[in-house]
Structure formats: C-alpha cells, structure tokens
Amino acid sequence: MTHIILSGANGAMGRTIARLAGETHGVKIVAGLDKNTQGAADFPIYASPEQLPEIKGVLVDFSHPSAFDGILRYALDTETPLVMCTTGLAPEQLDAIRAAAKRIAVFHSANMSIGINLLADLARRAAALLQDQFDIEIIERHHNKKIDAPSGTALMLADAMREALSEQPRYVYDRHAVRERRQKNDIGFSSVRGGTIVGEHEILFAGTDELIELRHTATSKEVFAVGALRAAVYLENKGPGLYNMSNLIQEV
C-alpha cells in the first residue's frame, strides 16, 4: 500500500486525486496540505508543512509555486519522496529540485499525462527530421483561471525538440514585442486562455506548401491525477535521484 501526503488537497486537482485514490487499489491518501483545511476529505488536512507530522509515504504536490519552499523543506527534512506536479516554477526553484534529488527521490514532470509525454517523444523525432525545412510553432490552450503562460507543458515540448535540433532555438513568446521577421531557428509560442479548457497542446511544423500538426487534448483533469498516482507508486522505493514520466513509461 502506497501512502500519499497530498499537497493542494482542496484544489481542483487535489480533489480529483483524492477521489481516484479512493477508487484505486494499492494507494491511500493519509494526510493533506492546504491553506483551506475545510472540506469533506476522509483524511486530516494541515494548513502548512510546519504543522504536518512526519508521515511515512510519498508527498504529491499539486499546489502553487508560492508553497514550494515549505514543501521541499519538509520533504528534505523527513527524507520523503516527492512528486512535484506544480507548474509555473521559477528557474531557481527548478535548480532547487535538482539539488534536492541528490538527497531524496524526486519525480518532476511539467505534465503528468502519459499521452503528453508520448507527444514530446514524437515531437523530438519530428524536429530531428524536419528541422532544416520546417518552422516550428506551439499553440497551447487552457482555462481562464490558469496563471502562467506559456504553459509548463508547452515549454517541456519545446525543450524536447531542442534536444534534437542541431542549432539552438530561440524561444519567442510575444511577436508583437519582437516586431521582426521570423528567424529560422525560432520556436514560437501562442497562449490561449478561456472557458474551462482543460488543456490542449498543438505543435505546428510549417514547411513550403505543407503543414504537419501534432496535437494532444486533455478532456478532463483525471489524466493528470492518474499519472500522479502512478508516479507516487513508482517513486515509493526509489533511491535519491531525479525521475520523470519517461523513466516511468520505460520501466512499466
């Protein structure tokens, strides 16, 4: 039985994970973290990591970058494996994750969907084959409450393609500000925010007289919750190191 400490327990993703965990054999939410401690959860919810007792299990974080320091400190102090699902992290926070992985097991992915991680692999292969003749653009669409732009997943897809490109790309987030002709090595980002769109990511390879499109659409938050639970089970008995969805997929 994998015991899970759920950070962001009363958020939309936290509630989805808690519901699925109750329906999934072999996993159990034993404690939660959230500024809002009210609710109908069947596990205790603490307002801060400082109030959380030391519990043997895996810490799954679906909260907010502002909570990052306390979450990471708790994981390090208690040597608790950490599944970091929160997006919009600053570069120094990403550096802190890499440093923490030298002491504890850390699972970090910008997107917990297996489908998105397959898309990243396909995009990497396509970029390697098409780089000299096709322009690359990424369009991402999310609900109107999402704060960060471009999405962490869009950046993850771009980084995957960058690994395959012979020339380092230039990421362009705002063509209105750039006001110049597109450069050959640009990867452009377009962000759409509206309604209740769970998440759509589209990669365009635009060539002369032809257009190739790779797309992933999430129709519910459950795909991310399922991935987070699988990551927690995967990470439970791992030694110190930085793991991601590609590692999980390869070992399943």
Domain at 150, CATH number: 3.30.360.10
> How many distinct structural domains can be found in the chain?
2
SS3 content of the chain, % helix, strand, coil (to 5): 35, 25, 35
Choosing from 3, 28, 64, 146, the catalytic residue is 146
Choosing from 142, 184, 216, 221, the catalytic residue is 142
- 185 lies in the same domain as 206: yes
Q: What is the predicted pLDDT for the residue at 94? A: 95
Q: What is the predicted pLDDT for the residue at 249? A: 84
- 235 lies in the same domain as 170: no
Q: How far apart are CA 14 and CA 222, in angstroms?
A: 11
- 137 lies in the same domain as 161: yes
- 140 lies in the same domain as 200: yes
**Residues of the chain falling short of pLDDT 70:** 252
Q: What is the predicted pLDDT for the residue at 251? A: 78
- 9 lies in the same domain as 101: yes
- 90 lies in the same domain as 130: no
Binding residue numbers for NADP(+): 35
- 47 lies in the same domain as 119: no
- 13 lies in the same domain as 29: yes
Q: How far apart are CA 113 and CA 28, in angstroms?
A: 21
Binding residue numbers for (S)-2,3,4,5-tetrahydrodipicolinate: 143, 152-153
Catalytic residue list contains 184: no
We report the CATH number of the domain holding residue 32 as 3.40.50.720
Binding residue numbers for NAD(+): 8-13, 34, 85-87, 109-112
**Stated pTM of the model:** 0.82
Q: What is the predicted pLDDT for the residue at 252? A: 67
Q: How far apart are CA 7 and CA 26, in angstroms?
A: 19
- 17 lies in the same domain as 142: no
First to last CA, the chain: 18
Catalytic residue list contains 3: no
- 93 lies in the same domain as 163: no
- 120 lies in the same domain as 241: no
- 146 lies in the same domain as 214: yes
With beta carbons less than 8 A apart as the criterion, state whether 151 and 199 touch.
yes
Burial of 198 (0-12, 13-18, 19+ CB in 10 A): middle
Q: Torsion angle of alpha carbons 90, 94, 96, 100, nearest 10°? A: 150
Q: What is the predicted pLDDT for the residue at 246? A: 86
Q: What is the predicted pLDDT for the residue at 110? A: 81
Q: For residue 35, give its domain range.
A: 2-108+221-251
